[in-house]
């Protein structure tokens, strides 16, 4: 018995579809697809290739070791240098040569300090917060025994940002 | 009789054809994804993807809402303005039981009252005065807290399920990533995410989201938002590391996740999450 024509034709079509389908698959599916799951496996390596931007305080300490030590021993110890020296509000001055992306002079305005220390009912109450700046100056200023304390308008005039805690016991 | 014989021969022949056809179907090479990740032997080709399972923990009782994490994230990952991979929300519940939620610019500049100049010069005694998120009477804030939010890196991810090109997926170490070379920017995943943690990048026109700083954690560093957090409200670690701090915290603290009713199984846990947080 000869194979009927229509059966032969159908087989040919199936074979053709098989070849064409696999050809499309070969072209369309990326090489590493399915290596680790239903995704392009090479992307995992691509994603981890990028260099970190935040390098941590230790990198700053390689040159500025005294400043880093001062900071680490103070109340701002857990805060990495980048938090203030990488300020989005800061001016355009850039750090010389070595790392131009780092802003050399951080924001010294009230805004920089109050980002963390402004009083809010939503802030954890144990965290040091400032509700009223004039009142703060009026009560704590005289204890510093500085004549011109009333003229001070910035937090950094009294507080060292690297070691902000002022020991009032010694001064008055 | 002859006819019967012929029929049998024809039957055997067609059965042979059918068998050949069946074999052809079986012989089609098995697609790669049929081979599950757990079947693959850990060798040199896979670095340490099976040695880790990352998990994130946010302590809302420690967050001060400074926005350092939002700024760090934007610097680290080049997130365009007004788009966020992580953001901080402020919840304030007043005496009349109203929940006030705000997140100006995602908390990028912190939460400062608009009348800052007034705050610095005024001699007003009441710390809960106007513009300070406070108030008097029924507007008095009785309870307040900050809630940092980000991609929850769910185990049962709604976002990767809807991706038509398998550009979004969960990595073997539990991080939900987007393959930008495959993403077609259809934004199905943006709609599917119940936490609103995805966006379409305005220049690349592909989906973008928090990767837990995959380029950092695979090099032994912490995500940028965790390193800059001044109060330790953000914690990150490896579940497969028996001695890790996060493992101890997860075992001892009272935890919750966002929208647990959706069964997305988030791997971003919260400590001290109020019921008003949505």
Q: Are B269 and B255 in contact (CB under 8 A)?
A: yes
According to DSSP, residue B198 is labeled: E
Measure CA of the first residue to CA of the last residue in chain A; give whole Å.
117
Instruction: Give me the pLDDT at residue A88, please.
Output: 44
**Contacts B61 to A, Cβ<8 Å:** 124
Question: In a 10 Å sphere around its CB, with 0-12 CB exposed, 13-18 middle and 19+ buried, how is residue B20 labelled?
Answer: exposed
Query: Nearest residue of A to residue B145 by CA position?
Result: A122
Model confidence band, residue A71 (pLDDT cutoffs 50, 70, 90): very high
| B46 and chain A in contact, CB less than 8 A | yes
What is the Cα gyration radius of chain A? 32
Average pLDDT over residues B26-36: 48
**Region of poorest pLDDT, from A55-59, A145-149, B265-269:** A145-149
Contact between A48 and B214 using a beta-carbon 8 Å cutoff: yes
Indicate if the pLDDT at residue A39 is higher than 70. yes
Sheet order of strands, B86-94 included? B99-102, B86-94, B141-150
Indicate if the pLDDT at residue B32 is higher than 90. no
Distance CA B176, CA B211 (A): 7
| B131 and chain A in contact, CB less than 8 A | no
Helix (H/G/I), strand (E/B), else coil: B230: coil
**Contacts B29 to A, Cβ<8 Å:** 22
Helix (H/G/I), strand (E/B), else coil: B209: strand
Q: What is the mean pLDDT of chain B?
A: 83
Distance CA A1, CA B6 (A): 8
Indicate if the pLDDT at residue B121 is higher than 70. no
Which tens digits make up the pLDDT trace of A76-111?
Answer: 999 998 888 875 433 334 444 445 455 555 677 888
Indicate if the pLDDT at residue B26 is higher than 70. no
Contact between B29 and A22 using a beta-carbon 8 Å cutoff: yes
Domains within chain B, CATH numbers bracketed: 53-114+133-278 (3.30.70.20)
Q: How far is CA B27 from CA A10, A13, B216, in A?
A: 19, 17, 43
Instruction: Count Cβ atoms below 10 Å from residue A5 Cβ, excluding itself.
Output: 8
Name the pairing type of β-strands B268-271 and B54-59: parallel
Interface of B with A in 241-270 (CB under 8 A): none
Instruction: Give me the pLDDT at residue A32, please.
Output: 86
**Contacts A39 to B, Cβ<8 Å:** 166-167, 169, 179
CB pairs under 8 A between A and B: 187
* Helix A5-28, helix B2-27: angle, nearest 10: 10
Indicate if the pLDDT at residue A147 is higher than 80. no
Distance CA B87, CA B108 (A): 8
Which residue in B127, B144, B142, B134 sits closest to B97, CA to CA? B142
Which tens digits make up the pLDDT trace of B149-174?
Answer: 999 999 999 999 999 999 999 999 99
B contact test, residue of A24, A32, A56, A121 with most B CBs within 10 A: A121
Indicate if the pLDDT at residue B133 is higher than 50. no
Distance CA B26, CA A136 (A): 81
Instruction: Give me the pLDDT at residue A97, please.
Output: 42
**Contacts B38 to A, Cβ<8 Å:** none
């Amino acid at each position: 018995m000869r194979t009927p024509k229509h059966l032969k034709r159908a087989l040919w079509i199936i074979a053709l579809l098989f070849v064409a389908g696999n050809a499309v698959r070969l072209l369309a599916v990326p090489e590493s697809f399915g290596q680790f799951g239903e995704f392009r496996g090479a992307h995992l390596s691509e994603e981890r290739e990028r260099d970190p931007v935040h390098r941590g305080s230790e990198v700053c300490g390689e040159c500025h070791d005294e400043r880093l030590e001062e900071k680490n021993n103070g109340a701002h110890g857990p805060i990495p240098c980048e938090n203030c020296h990488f300020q989005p509000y800061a001016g355009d001055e850039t750090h010389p040569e070595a790392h131009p992306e780092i802003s050399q002079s951080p924001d010294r305005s009230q805004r920089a300090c109050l980002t963390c220390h402004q009083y809010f009912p939503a802030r954890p109450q144990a965290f040091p917060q400032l509700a009223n700046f004039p009142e703060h100056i009026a009560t704590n200023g005289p204890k510093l025994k500085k004549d011109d304390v009333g003229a001070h308008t910035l937090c950094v005039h009294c507080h060292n940002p690297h070691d902000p805690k002022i020991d009032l016991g010694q001064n008055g | 009789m002859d006819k019967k014989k012929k029929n049998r021969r024809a039957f055997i022949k067609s059965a042979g054809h059918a068998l050949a056809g069946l074999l052809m179907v079986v012989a089609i090479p098995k697609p790669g994804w049929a081979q599950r990740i757990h079947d693959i032997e850990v060798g040199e080709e896979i670095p340490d993807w099976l040695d880790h399972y990352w998990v994130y923990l946010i302590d809302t009782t420690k967050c001060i809402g400074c926005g350092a994490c939002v700024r760090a994230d934007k610097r680290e990952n080049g997130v365009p303005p007004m788009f966020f991979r992580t953001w901080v929300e402020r919840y304030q519940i007043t005496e009349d039981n109203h929940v006030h939620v705000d997140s100006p610019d995602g908390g990028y500049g912190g939460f400062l009252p608009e009348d800052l100049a007034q705050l610095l010069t005024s001699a007003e005694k009441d710390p809960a005065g106007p513009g300070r998120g406070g108030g008097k009477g029924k507007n008095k804030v009785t309870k307040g807290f900050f809630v940092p939010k980000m991609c929850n890196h769910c185990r049962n991810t709604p976002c990767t399920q809807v991706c038509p090109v398998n550009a979004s997926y969960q990595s073997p170490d539990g991080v939900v990533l987007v393959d930008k070379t495959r993403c077609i920017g259809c934004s199905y995943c943006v709609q599917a995410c119940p936490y609103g943690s995805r966006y379409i990048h305005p220049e690349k026109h592909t989906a973008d989201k928090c990767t837990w700083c995959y380029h950092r954690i695979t090099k032994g560093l912490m995500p940028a938002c965790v390193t800059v957090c001044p109060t330790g409200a953000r914690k990150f670690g490896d579940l497969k590391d028996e001695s890790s701090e996060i493992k101890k915290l997860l075992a001892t603290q009272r935890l919750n996740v966002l929208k647990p009713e959706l069964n997305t199984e988030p791997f971003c846990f919260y400590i001290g999450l109020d019921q008003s947080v949505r």
